Amino acid sequence: MLADTHIVCSDCHIGKVSNAVDMSERGDTIIIKSGVYTESLIEIDKPLTIIGENFPKIVAKGGEKIFHIIGDSVTITGLEFMEVKRSFIEDRAAINIQGGNYISIINNRFTNTFFGIYIAKSTGTKIIDNRLISNNKKEMNSANAIHAWSSKKLLIKNNYVEGHRDGLYFEFCDNSIIKNNHSYRNLRYGLHFMFSDNNKYKNNIFEENGAGVAVMYSHHIEMYKNQFLNNWGQSSYGLLLKEIKDSKIHYNLFKGNTKGIYGESAIRINIVHNDFVQNGWAMQMMGSSEQDTISHNNFIRNTFNVSTNQNAKNYNVYEKNYWSDYTGYDLDKDGIGDVPHRPVKFFSQVLGYTPEAIILLRSFFIELLNFIENIVPVLTPENLKDLQPLVKQIDNDTISKHI
């Protein structure tokens, strides 16, 4: 059986995408010429390749979902999807993958679609080079750009997502790779990750999202070389870790976030070779976080480096980090400060009880108290200290070049 090619355009013999899909056999190719097609509820139950020329616009008729994919091995590329309206009853998406495996969604545009790409019960699906832009104002009325649920072995790569509720959403998805994506100005999380194990995300940029990135209830996650930038706000995090176990956070940049990393019940996490620059709090590690290793990181000009709700005991290891506010010395010139560094300040503990006192930040009086606390710890855990603080900044860029 030979594969056919069907051409769709407004003056062609086939004027509608849905007609082309209906008349195609398994393995056929559909080429859509540039133009505007107002269509929706197109179901695909067989392997097909759909190619758009010069980004033909598919406008959702009645604001309904556009493609509904239940078959395997479907490729969609070069289309622009528009105006999928919000619904409170169903999860409407421009491309809705329900159980189809090995789907490729490559180089498409999504403009003001409610959900952009919705993936459910799919294995081996690739979402690459797509741009999804919405201009939502309210979290309640908006949905996620790329939403994946109960899937495996996904590859989400090189996508740009902006103005949705969550930029990237993963729930019960395992063994997937998320890389080189840029998630910008989404109303809630740039990346929202739950109950998803053994995943890697690498080289992504999460920037100015309402609440930053949340990774929760998962284990064996690898997060390498991502950038968490300018996630500002009352409950905004560069990276929120909650109930996370056995994961690696390496070579990331946390810059200008209200809280760089916030950890709650984060267990056996390896936080190594990251740069924390000009965050409000570089790390906030709650007492339930244990057996974590924090080493070879640069902490540079953060208002607070580490804070915790614990004031007695610390169960994590802080060693060989560079702290830009380290005031000790290195007489034997081995690159390691001769005096331990205590990254938790008295004042950051005070703020735990009296948040309004933030107005006294950098006051001479407060600096005096910090100094005294440093000598005689009362409010800060006595054993939370870096015994081998580095005196020189680590060049993490060079170190991570080949990773």
**DSSP letter (8 states) at residue 70:** -
Q: Which is nearer to another protein, 201 or 322 (CB)?
A: 322
**DSSP letter (8 states) at residue 216:** E
Residue 362 binds to another protein (criterion: CB under 8 A):
yes
Cα(384)–Cα(311) distance, integer angstroms: 10
Q: Which is nearer to another protein, 88 or 353 (CB)?
A: 353
Minimum distance, C-beta of residue 228 to another protein, in the bound complex (Å) = 12
Residue 338 binds to another protein (criterion: CB under 8 A):
no
What's the gap between Cα 89 and its chain centre?
A: 27
Cα(192)–Cα(194) distance, integer angstroms: 7
Residue 364 binds to another protein (criterion: CB under 8 A):
yes
Residue 333 binds to another protein (criterion: CB under 8 A):
no
Cα(281)–Cα(347) distance, integer angstroms: 12
Minimum distance, C-beta of residue 44 to another protein, in the bound complex (Å) = 46
Minimum distance, C-beta of residue 66 to another protein, in the bound complex (Å) = 39
Give how far Cα 347 sits from Cα of 309, 344, 377, Å: 12, 9, 12
- Residue 57: how many CA atoms within 13 Å on its side-chain side? 12
Longest dimension (CA), the chain: 85
Residue 356 binds to another protein (criterion: CB under 8 A):
yes
**DSSP letter (8 states) at residue 87:** -
Instruction: Pick the stretch among 9-17, 56-64, 109-117, 226-234 that binds another protein (CB under 8 A).
Output: 226-234
Minimum distance, C-beta of residue 277 to another protein, in the bound complex (Å) = 10
Minimum distance, C-beta of residue 328 to another protein, in the bound complex (Å) = 13
Instruction: Pick the stretch among 10-18, 150-158, 171-179, 255-263 that binds another protein (CB under 8 A).
Output: 255-263
Which one of 98, 141, 309, 324 is in contact with another protein (CB under 8 A)? 324
Minimum distance, C-beta of residue 281 to another protein, in the bound complex (Å) = 7
Q: Which is nearer to another protein, 113 or 258 (CB)?
A: 258
Residue 35 binds to another protein (criterion: CB under 8 A):
no
Residue 259 binds to another protein (criterion: CB under 8 A):
yes
Where would I find the H helices in 17-119?
17-23
Residue 366 binds to another protein (criterion: CB under 8 A):
yes
276-301 in b/e form (b: 16+ CB < 10 A) is: bbebbbbbbbbbebeebebbbbbbbe
Which one of 1, 137, 355, 375 is in contact with another protein (CB under 8 A)? 355
**Interface of this chain with another protein, residues 78 to 137, rule: CB under 8 A:** none
Residue 365 binds to another protein (criterion: CB under 8 A):
yes
Q: Which is nearer to another protein, 354 or 398 (CB)?
A: 354
Alpha-carbon dihedral 95, 97, 100, 101, rounded to 10 degrees = 80
- Indicate the SS3 state at residue 222: strand
Residue 367 binds to another protein (criterion: CB under 8 A):
yes
Cα(19)–Cα(388) distance, integer angstroms: 69
Residue 138 binds to another protein (criterion: CB under 8 A):
no
Cα(92)–Cα(114) distance, integer angstroms: 6
- 260 Cβ contact partners less than 8 Å away, ≥ 6 residues apart: 228, 237, 238, 239, 254, 276, 279, 281, 282, 283, 302
Instruction: Pick the stretch among 72-80, 128-136, 337-345, 348-356 that binds another protein (CB under 8 A).
Output: 348-356
Tokens of 191: 């990346």
Q: Which stretches of the chain bind another protein, using CB under 8 A?
A: 230, 232-236, 256-259, 278-281, 301, 303-304, 324, 350, 353-368
